[in-house]
Amino acid sequence: MAAQKQKIVILGGGLRGLYLASLLSQKSYPVQYLELAGYKYPSIEPFGYFAEDLHDEFSVFLQNIADLSPCPTGFTVWSEQGPVEMRGPLSNFSLDQRGISYTLSDALKKVDHFSFQEKKEFVRAMQSLDMSQNWLTALSAHLANSIYDADRSINIHQQLLPLFNPYYLVRFSENKIKNYMDQQTFKTQRDIQIKDISLVGKTIDAIEISGMAAGVLKGDYFVWLGSSEDTTSLNPTVAKRLFPRNAVSPAWSWTHFSVQLSQGPEVEALPQNFTLIQNLYLPWTHSHISLFQKGEAPGTYHVWFRIAHSRKFQRTYLEQTCQQIVDELQRRIPALEVKIEKMPPEFSRDRSELGMNPYSVYEQPALDKLKLSCFKNLIYACPEQQSGLDLLSMKRFEIDIYQKILKMTEMKKKNDQEVQPGRDGPSLD
C-alpha cells in the first residue's frame, strides 16, 4: 500500500486526543486521528463536569458527544458529619453547619481563575490547617488527581476542582461520539494496531498500522496518547522504543457498580449526585469514598470507587468492597433498602474484554522511573503526564499539547523559510 502523507498523526482512543484533533483541524492542519485497539468509549464520567456556563468551546464539544444533566444542588459531599451541598437553597446553611467559612468557599469558587500568586497564597494558607479545617480543599485537590497521595497534602502544582461551580452529570453516547467524528474535517481510523515505527535518525518517518485500516502512514508530527502499560499491551516492541524502561503500572483505578434503591420519600430526597465519605481521616480508597450518580431508571444509582489496581480482578475483594459501600449507605438511611444491581465490569470480564482503563491513578515513586525516548517530531501526551482524570484536566492537558504543536510547527515553518533558496539567496523572512 502506498505511503500516505499526513501533517499530524494523533494516536489516541476512547476520548483521548479527540478534542486535540478538533482544535488542530479548526486551524486547518491536516490531521489523522487513530483510535488504538483496546480503547473503548466511556459511558459515565465519574467526576461529572464543573462549568460556569456551557457556551465555551470545550463545553460545546462536550455536548456534541455526551448528554449533560444539571444538578440543582451542585456537587454534594456526605461525610459522617452530614451532607454539604455546594449550591442550592441549603448550601449556605450546610456550609455553616460544617464550619466552612465564606472565605474558603469563595476562594474555591475562584480556583479556576487564580493567578499563580493568588494560588500560591491560597495553598500556603491551606497548608497551615489540619484535616478538620481543610478537608474540602483536600478533596478538591485529590478526588480526581491522577497521582495518589495517602497524606492528601496540598501543593501549588495540583489542579483544584472548582467544587462550587455549576455541576453536571455526564453520560457519553457512542452514537453521538461517532457522529461527531464523522462530521469533522480530520480523518479517523478505528481499532488500529501499531505494527512498527520507521525511524530516520531521531525522527519518526512513518508508522505501520493494521486493523480496520492497514499500511504505512507518514506524518510530520506524531502525538502519542497511550500509557506505557497500554502501549506494552498493544505492542511490546514499539513500547520498548517509546518507553525504554519497563512500563509504569497504576497503583489504583476507578471502577463502578450499580445499585437499586427502594422507592419512597428517602430516595426522592436524595440529590442527583453525592460523594459518600465514611471517615475523613481514613485513606480515600476502597469503600472509604464512593461517588453516587443518579441513573436513568427510577431508584438507580451508579457508584464509583477507587480500587487497588493489583486486585481489580479479585471477585471476593470486589464483592466485599461493594457490600461495604451499600452497608454504609443503609446505615445512614435505615429505612432505605439497597440492592446491588450490577457488579463492576472487572467482576465478570478480563482485560481483553474491558479494554484500557481511562481512570488510572499512579504513585509518584513509580512515575519517577518513567523514561520517554526523545524523537524530534513525537509529542508524548500520556496519562502518566496528565495531572487529573476529570474533564477540566483533560481540557487543559490537550490545550497545552495543542499550543506546543502550534509552536513546533511555526518554528519549523520559520526555519524552512530561512533556508529556502531564492533568486537573491536564502530568504530571511
Which are the contacts of 415, defined by CB distance < 8 A and separation ≥ 6? Answer: none
163, pLDDT greater than 90: yes
The backbone region for 82, taken as left when phi is positive above 0, alpha when psi lies in -120 to 50, beta otherwise, is left
CB of 68 within 8 A of CB of 49? yes
Rounded (10°) angle between helices 391-419 and 57-65? 120
Q: 56-78 as b/e, with b when 16 or more CB fall inside 10 Å?
A: eebbebbbbbbebbebebbbbbb
Write out the chain in H/E/C secondary structure: CCCEEEEEEEEEECCECHHHHHHHHHCCCCEEEEEECCCCCCCECCCCEECCCCCCHHHHHHHHHEEEEEECCCCEEEECCEEEECCCCCHHHHHHHCCCCHHHHHHHHCHHHCCHHHHHHHHHHHHCCCHHHHHHHHHHHHCCECECCCCCCCCCCCCCCCCCCCEEEEEECHHHHHHHHHHCCCEEEEEEEEEEEEEECCEEEEEEEEECCCEEEEEEEEEECCCHHHHHHHCHHHHHHHCCCCCCCCCEEEEEEEEEECCCHHHHHCCCEEEEECCCCCCCCCCCEEEEEECCCCCEEEEEEEEEHHHCCCHHHHHHHHHHHHHHHHHHCCCCCEEEEECCHHHCCCHHHHCCCCCEEECHHHHCCCCCCCCCCEEECCHHHCCECCHHHHHHHHHHHHHHHHHHHHHHHHHHHHHCEECCEECCC
- Residue 192 identity: I
Using pLDDT thresholds of 50, 70 and 90, give the confidence band for residue 365: very high
Q: Which superfamily is assigned to 4-47+57-61+173-249+362-418 in CATH?
A: FAD/NAD(P)-binding domain (3.50.50.60)
d(CA 293, CA 270): 10
Q: What is the mean pLDDT of the chain?
A: 90
Residue type at position 353? E
The predicted-structure confidence for 66-112, as pLDDT tens digits, reads as follows: 999 999 999 999 999 889 999 988 888 888 888 787 778 888 888 88
Distance CA 193, CA 217 (A): 12
CB–CB of 294/242 below 8 Å? Answer: no
> C-alpha cell of 312?
481489580
- Kindly report the backbone phi and psi dihedral angles of residue 310, in degrees, each rounded to the nearest multiple of 5, phi listed first: -75, -15
- What residues does each domain of the chain span? 4-47+57-61+173-249+362-418, 251-356
CB atoms within 10 A of CB 262: 12
The C-alpha angle with vertex 51 and arms to 45 and 53, in degrees rounded to 5, equals 135
pLDDT tier, 5 (very low <50, low <70, confident <90, very high otherwise): very low
pLDDT for residue 385? 95
Average pLDDT value for residue range 354-383: 93
The three-point CA angle 405-26-230 to 5° equals 55
Give the distance from CA 12 to its chain's centroid.
Answer: 13
Contact 172, 65 (CB under 8 A): yes
Of 60, 56, 6, nearest to 29 by C-alpha is: 6
Non-local CB neighbours of 161 within 8 Å, separated by 6+ positions = 47, 50, 111, 139, 140, 141, 143, 144, 388, 390, 392
Q: Give the cell for residue 408.
A: 513546533
Confidence of residue 422 (pLDDT cuts 50, 70, 90): low
What is the arithmetic mean of pLDDT over 407-426? 67
Q: Which of 6-10, 83-87, 244-248, 301-305 has the lowest mean pLDDT?
A: 6-10
pLDDT band at 410 (very low <50, low <70, confident <90, very high): confident
Within 13 A of 170's CA, how many CA atoms are on the CB side? Answer: 25
Count Cα neighbours of 279 within 13 Å in the Cβ-side half-sphere.
Answer: 5
Q: What's the pLDDT tens digit per position in 245-291?
A: 889 999 999 999 999 998 888 888 899 999 999 999 999 999 999 99
Question: Which amino acid, residue 144?
Answer: A
pTM of the entire predicted model: 0.91
Q: What is the pLDDT of residue 209?
A: 93
Between 9-18, 50-59, 105-114, 216-225, the lowest mean confidence (pLDDT) is in 105-114
Asked if 52 contacts 26 with a C-beta cutoff of 8 angstroms, the reply is no
Which pLDDT band, with edges at 50, 70 and 90, does 347 fall under? Answer: very high
